[in-house]
Amino acid sequence: MLTTLGVPSVETLISQAVPQSIRLGRPLALPAPASEAEALAELSEKMNQNKVLKSFIGAGYHGVHVPPVIQRNLFENPAWYTAYTPYQSEISQGRLELLFNFQTLVSELTGLPIASASLLDEATAVAEAMGIAWRHHRSKKNDVVIAGELHAQTLDVVKTRAEPLGINIEATEIGAETAALIVPWPDTYGVFGDHKATIAAAKAAGAIVIFVADPLALTITASPASLGADIAVGSMQRYGVPMGYGGPHAGFCAVSDALTRLMPGRLVGQSTDAHGRPGFRLALQTREQHIRRDKATSNICTAQALLANMATAYAIWHGPEGLQAIARRVNNFASRLAAALGIKARLFDTVTVTVSGNAKALAAKAEESGLLLRVVDEDRISVAFDETSTEEDLQTIAGILGVTVATEAPRALPQNPRGGEFLTQPMFHDHRSETEMMRLLRRLADKDLALDRAMIPLGSCTMKLNAAAEMMPVSWQSVGGLHPFAPAEHATGYKAMTDELESWLAEITGFDACSLQPNAGSQGEYAGLLAIRRYHQSRGDTGRDVCLIPSSAHGTNPASAAMAGMGVVIVKCTDDGDIDVADLKAKAAQYADRLAALMITYPSTHGVFEEGVREICKTVHDHGGQVYLDGANLNAMVGLARPGDLGADVCHMNLHKTFCIPHGGGGPGVGPIGVKSHLAPFLPGHVFGGDGYAVSAAPFGSASILPITWMYIRMMGGSGLKHATEMAILNANYIAERLKAFYPVLYKGKNGRVAHECILDTRVLKDTAGIGVEDIAKRLIDYGFHAPTMSWPVAGTLMVEPTESESKLEIDRFCDAMIGIAREASKVADGTWPLDDNPLVNAPHTSAETIANEWTHPYSRTIAAFPAGEANFASKYWPPVSRIDNVGGDRNLVCACPPVEVLAS
């Protein structure tokens, strides 16, 4: 096929697509490729060095039993973990429905009406809540009061977020300047403090009250809303998600009605489809950074959808009674230990006891029995119980602390502290048998189109294969069972793996040091810009607060700059999508005294390797700025060129794009950054040995999914990675060649080639037939495809990224669909089908309407549902709903109504 298109060879094509001036002239210095079996054996030997003891450390991370029905049918099921973020609602109804139930769950637990569909972790959720309060007061009130002690890692993340924004988190008095009161519920020692008066004072002063709550405790205690909370945040980790040495876990956030429009992250709403049937969609999408850009004050994009869905499934599986039973059991252990120790504080699961200088010795003794206690300081020890704790553990710990526990808890918990039922929705009651639960997860997954069904050609998102061998280690106990604050000598396997991974990523990107801490690309941007900020400050260069960003940048870029305390100045792009170098030079000179950084995406968001990149970097350096390279498009570069060699000082990688971590239906992700040596001292630190500067709760962020990337690089080796990049570029150019007669291909490099993605201009169909890009996207569903990236970075276009993982067969199936759509549009253009009744504007077609008795359209049922003929018959994907009303979802944000299950038709 290549020769018929006149493409001589891969080498020639790559040399046409990737300018010689940026090429890495040598192979990557990485180990030779390993087979699946070899790589798994090597990694398992490494991770087996970890010592996984039973943890009573608590501090935001708890042991769990992952229900096997959820482990196998959701966590380890590609139908769930390979899905993309649910922007195309019609092919995402299953995960949208479960995320909607996540919101219902959080709303029920907190008593607050509106909950979002997950944040990155507990610490960032607290920081986001602080941001809501600050914005609510239009950045005019800058004091935050913290009532009692937060977990150390939460405090570090909040401190880090507050500093660039000028928020003072050391305020102690409530007053006119108070933006927010933060109440840890319970605090890091396990105590529910008496904050009634402080909360009342905060309310009187107009401050926002934020509760940082434990969602298991909330099943048997009064809701934060009833105690005065305007916002409640926390982590859903203990709802059946392994500790995983720190993550990934879903953070949660719920707010009062008045704060809805300030809420960061994604929100699922209910809407209706073209036939009036109920359906879900992401609501308030206009708030996403693509629209708000530098006015955005949160940069969250990829969140924790898969983990939010796991937590929801856990709640569905146990139901309210089951959750309460777990909570009471945990509380029973803690109360009995506290009583034996003579501790009277109100507590849930954690007992902190003073042991006068003996903390380390007692912890060592517990360790001999295989139990990990938390050494708070020399004089205090904490014991946190969880659902895996046993009576025997309690007795062992009591013995070590030298007390005898009674068989009864000192005071029985009130039977119904909430004053009413909660989680009464049928969803949380109808799936208590494994049969029902398994089928629920299957039914929901079947509504969605993930990578296990078809190519997802989303430009910039790099939806490539997440190989089974890469995924397997995530389920290992040696990977999932470790507490992030376990003693370092228990995590030597992790250390070996992360050291190696950091060095590989540094070699791949051409940098000197790496941080694996950021939980998503957006967090990498933020961490990288903070490193730049701190670098300037360290040199006494404190006036550098301007960030240059090209107009074509991803929306997270300006949002991250704003969070790092920088003002955004937009640099123009030329008509061919490159940075306008003259404009860049003018702006760099204009802001020479204030220039902090340039953020540049490479290859550009238009998919082009700009040859002027070195000159661009030099210009910025000459004016005292640093260069941040957005590496989301690294799949076009690995093995061929390195950001660090082009002049960038820092760059983030999206491990959930280029490096095979699955998208999980909207997260998890990992966004590590690589930096040049002069920025290395300013990388985010380790909480318990560091300087109180962190961008994620856990030192290694979402540590337990790092083995996916380790496996990928280990199996591919340097040569395999380079080959993958070449195939990705080849595939994109093949699509460009096949489709250019039907859709003009925008922004080719000077040799007429694209990089790893191509932008198809669909406006031709608008001009000739009145068919819009959305019609094409929805019609692709009838052909069995997820749409490419729509209207970004150019309105009215589709950005197609096939990746190296797709076969020629699948790529041809996609091209045939796109050509089929162009032909259909021509039938609208020539009047065969009217503009308001044709298969494109009516797409997608559900099975219900296709088999309905009545059929009034001017095209056949076969054309409606089987436009690709045999290619469709092989495995027809039926969307459960027809086109979803984009506005309706914004009006129905209420979470606590019984969710209507949208039946697959």
Q: Is 632 helix (H, G, I), strand (E, B) or coil?
A: helix
Give the sheet arrangement for strand 168-171, strand by strand. Answer: 114-115, 251-255, 231-235, 208-213, 178-185, 143-146, 168-171
Judged by CB under 6 A, does residue 644 bind ligand PLP?
no
Nearer to ligand PLP, 393 or 525 (CB): 525
Judged by CB under 6 A, does residue 632 bind ligand PLP?
yes
Judged by CB under 6 A, does residue 709 bind ligand PLP?
no
Judged by CB under 6 A, does residue 696 bind ligand PLP?
no
Q: 599 near 525, Cβ under 8 Å?
A: yes
Task: Find the binding residues for ligand PLP in span 715-774 (CB under 6 A).
Answer: none
Nearer to ligand PLP, 312 or 601 (CB): 601
Give the sheet arrangement for strand 350-354, strand by strand. Answer: 350-354, 380-384, 374-377
Judged by CB under 6 A, does residue 668 bind ligand PLP?
no
Judged by CB under 6 A, does residue 522 bind ligand PLP?
yes
CB of 630 vs ligand PLP, minimal distance in Å: 5
Token pair of 300, please? 């969250």
CB of 556 vs ligand PLP, minimal distance in Å: 5
Give the separation between CA 203 and CA 174, rounded to whole angstroms: 10
Residues 6+ apart with CB under 8 A from 700: 245, 246, 484, 494, 498, 516, 517, 706
At residue 674's C-alpha, the angle toward residues 672 and 675, to 5°, is 140
Which H helix or E strand runs over 110? helix 93-110
Q: 645 near 523, Cβ under 8 Å?
A: no
Token pair of 512, please? 């000197």
Nearer to ligand PLP, 550 or 718 (CB): 550
Q: Is 231 helix (H, G, I), strand (E, B) or coil?
A: strand
Residues 6+ apart with CB under 8 A from 361: none
Give the separation between CA 198 and CA 174, rounded to whole angstroms: 8
Give the separation between CA 647 and CA 375, rounded to whole angstroms: 45
x-or-dash pattern for ligand PLP, window 530-559, by CB under 6 A? ------------------------x-x---
Give the separation between CA 118 and CA 128, rounded to whole angstroms: 12
Task: Find the binding residues for ligand PLP in span 219-238 (CB under 6 A).
Answer: none
CB of 667 vs ligand PLP, minimal distance in Å: 8
Which of these ranges, 146-154, 367-375, 469-477, 517-525, lies near ligand PLP under the rule CB under 6 A?
517-525
Strand 231-235 versus strand 208-213 pairing type? parallel
Nearer to ligand PLP, 669 or 720 (CB): 669
Strand 350-354 versus strand 380-384 pairing type? antiparallel
Nearer to ligand PLP, 669 or 707 (CB): 669
CB of 52 vs ligand PLP, minimal distance in Å: 29
Which of these ranges, 133-141, 396-404, 516-524, 865-873, lies near ligand PLP under the rule CB under 6 A?
516-524
Q: Residue 887: which of 282, 377, 464 has the closest Cα?
A: 282
CB of 553 vs ligand PLP, minimal distance in Å: 7
CB of 139 vs ligand PLP, minimal distance in Å: 24
Q: Which of 108, 630, 649, 774 binds ligand PLP (CB under 6 A)?
A: 630
Judged by CB under 6 A, does residue 671 bind ligand PLP?
yes
Q: Which of 96, 301, 474, 568 binds ligand PLP (CB under 6 A)?
A: 301
CB of 558 vs ligand PLP, minimal distance in Å: 11
Nearer to ligand PLP, 669 or 802 (CB): 669
Token pair of 819, please? 């050509």
CB-based closest residue to ligand PLP: 521
CB of 756 vs ligand PLP, minimal distance in Å: 12
Q: 754 near 829, Cβ under 8 Å?
A: no
Nearer to ligand PLP, 671 or 701 (CB): 671
Q: Which of 520, 600, 653, 735 binds ligand PLP (CB under 6 A)?
A: 520
Judged by CB under 6 A, does residue 332 bind ligand PLP?
no
Judged by CB under 6 A, does residue 669 bind ligand PLP?
yes
Nearer to ligand PLP, 431 or 756 (CB): 756
CB of 93 vs ligand PLP, minimal distance in Å: 22
Nearer to ligand PLP, 558 or 671 (CB): 671
One DSSP character per residue, 460-515 reads: TT------HHHHGGGG-HHHHS--TTS-GGG-HHHHHHHHHHHHHHHHHHT-SEEE
Judged by CB under 6 A, does residue 654 bind ligand PLP?
yes
CB of 856 vs ligand PLP, minimal distance in Å: 42
Which of these ranges, 44-52, 308-316, 514-522, 691-699, lies near ligand PLP under the rule CB under 6 A?
514-522
Q: Which of 101, 110, 154, 302 binds ligand PLP (CB under 6 A)?
A: 302
CB of 521 vs ligand PLP, minimal distance in Å: 2
Nearer to ligand PLP, 294 or 387 (CB): 294
Residues 6+ apart with CB under 8 A from 759: 459, 606, 607, 745, 746, 747, 793, 794, 797, 798, 799, 800
Which of these ranges, 219-227, 332-340, 520-528, 880-888, lies near ligand PLP under the rule CB under 6 A?
520-528
Residues 6+ apart with CB under 8 A from 220: 324, 327, 328, 331, 413, 417
Residues 6+ apart with CB under 8 A from 899: 97, 100, 101, 104, 270, 425, 427
| CA 389 and chain centroid, separation | 30
* Dihedral sign, Cα of residue 366, residue 372, residue 378, residue 379: negative
Nearer to ligand PLP, 671 or 720 (CB): 671
Between 581-590 and 613-622, two packed helices, what is the crossing angle to 10 degrees?
Answer: 10
Give the separation between CA 838 and CA 816, rounded to whole angstroms: 19
CB neighbours of residue 56 within 10 Å: 28
CB of 654 vs ligand PLP, minimal distance in Å: 5
Q: Residue 750: which of 573, 577, 553 has the closest Cα?
A: 577
Judged by CB under 6 A, does residue 711 bind ligand PLP?
no
x-or-dash pattern for ligand PLP, window 578-617, by CB under 6 A? -----------------------x---x------------
Task: Find the binding residues for ligand PLP in span 253-282 (CB under 6 A).
Answer: none
Ramachandran angles phi, psi of 593, nearest 5°:
-75, -25
CB of 529 vs ligand PLP, minimal distance in Å: 13
Judged by CB under 6 A, does residue 83 bind ligand PLP?
no
How many residues at the interface with ligand PLP, by CB under 6 A? Answer: 15
Which of these ranges, 151-159, 224-232, 515-523, 764-772, lies near ligand PLP under the rule CB under 6 A?
515-523
Judged by CB under 6 A, does residue 521 bind ligand PLP?
yes
CB of 760 vs ligand PLP, minimal distance in Å: 18
User: Contact residues for ligand PLP (CB under 6 A)?
Assistant: 301-302, 460, 520-522, 554, 556, 601, 605, 630, 632, 654, 669, 671
